[in-house]
């Protein structure tokens, strides 16, 4: 294990976001995972779901965690990020849109819906039939898109409806806690009130918190940036509890 991943694992263990941080690893719950919005690997419905460098999404049976067995593979274009939603769905951010996939009880992958947007980098998360997507232009992400938060209604299954758009400066990773969406932006960590998905409202900006992605579990927040992993709590975001230098 590299130093970077040792530090990340330590940070998550300290934050209580990993179910097993030592010992023989027995008795893990692989039903679903806590993951950031820019993840490339999650567990959902008892299966490991992985993005590959070949533009594929694979599912693996974890009945024997030491020996995962490939169950299904689905080829998709320009997929970059992966996150879980509900008990059997995964949301995939691609540079040309966002996918909603279902992970079956047998590990089979079914594409439920796709929402297309201008070429942009595209993390996505979801909850309660709503999908939250950040898109940003520039660099490898393409120059066609705009910097904004998109909120979609995914309740109809095979159709996705765009509910609202909120401009944000170079938004990246995002996480939900209650009715508040936390978004990593080029200006810091931005709170967004999404209690009304038709009218999201930008709230407090924590300019001192630099991040590319984040995890929120209970009151604990883990923020990852290019060279740091920061631990904080929701009620004291302005004063983080710890910071680890990754050197990456």
Spatial contact of 237 and 216, defined as CB atoms under 8 Å apart: no
**What pLDDT was estimated at residue 88?**
94
- Domain 31-245 -> CATH class: mainly beta
Annotate 204-219 with three-state secondary structure. Answer: EEECCCCCCEEEEECC
What's the rounded Cα separation, in Å, for the pair 126 and 115?
14
What's the rounded Cα separation, in Å, for the pair 172 and 133?
9
Alpha helix stretches (DSSP H) within the chain: 3-15
Domain spans of the chain? 31-245
Identify the residue with better confidence: 150 or 246.
Answer: 150
**What pLDDT was estimated at residue 144?**
57
Residues 118-129 pLDDT 10s: 555 668 899 999
Pick the closest to residue 94 from 75, 109, 107 (CA basis). Answer: 75
Residues 150-171 pLDDT 10s: 999 999 877 889 999 999 999 9
Q: In terms of C-beta distances under 8 Å and separation of at least 24 residues, what long-range contacts does 180-186 make, across chains too?
A: 181/132, 181/149, 182/214, 182/216, 182/221, 183/134, 183/149, 184/211, 184/212, 184/213, 184/214, 184/223
Residues 177-191 pLDDT 10s: 999 999 999 999 999
- Is 48 strand, coil or helix? strand
What's the rounded Cα separation, in Å, for the pair 135 and 120?
5
Residues 198-241 pLDDT 10s: 999 999 999 999 999 999 989 999 999 988 899 999 999 999 99
Cα 203-246-182 angle, rounded to 5 deg? 15
DSSP 118: S
Q: Is the pLDDT of residue 20 over 60?
A: no
Sign of CA dihedral 170, 126, 217, 205: positive
235 phi and psi, to 5 degrees? -85, -5
Sign of CA dihedral 105, 110, 116, 117: positive
Average pLDDT taken over every residue of the chain: 82
DSSP 106: T
Query: Token pair of 211, please?
Result: 């991040």
């Amino acid at each position: 294990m590299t130093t970077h991943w040792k530090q990340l694992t330590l940070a998550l263990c300290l934050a209580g976001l990993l179910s097993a941080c030592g010992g023989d690893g027995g008795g893990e719950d692989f039903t679903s995972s806590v993951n950031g919005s820019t993840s490339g690997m999650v567990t959902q419905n008892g299966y490991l779901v992985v993005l590959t460098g070949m533009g594929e999404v694979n599912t693996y049976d974890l009945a024997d965690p030491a020996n995962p067995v490939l169950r299904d593979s689905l080829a998709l274009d320009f997929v970059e990020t992966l996150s879980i939603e509900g008990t059997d769905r995964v949301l995939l951010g691609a540079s040309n849109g966002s996918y909603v996939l279902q992970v079956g009880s047998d590990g089979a992958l079914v594409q439920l819906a796709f929402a297309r947007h201008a070429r942009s980098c595209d993390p996505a998360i979801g909850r309660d039939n709503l999908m939250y997507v950040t898109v940003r232009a520039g660099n490898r992400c393409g120059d066609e898109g705009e910097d904004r938060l998109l909120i979609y209604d995914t309740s109809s299954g095979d159709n996705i409806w765009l509910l609202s758009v909120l401009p944000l400066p170079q938004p990246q990773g995002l996480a939900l806690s209650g009715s508040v969406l936390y978004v990593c932006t080029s200006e810091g960590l931005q709170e967004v009130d999404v209690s009304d998905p038709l009218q999201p409202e930008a709230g407090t900006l924590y300019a001192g918190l630099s991040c590319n992605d984040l995890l929120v579990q209970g009151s604990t927040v883990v923020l990852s940036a290019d060279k740091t992993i920061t631990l904080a709590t929701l009620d004291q975001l302005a004063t983080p509890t710890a910071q680890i230098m990754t050197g990456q």
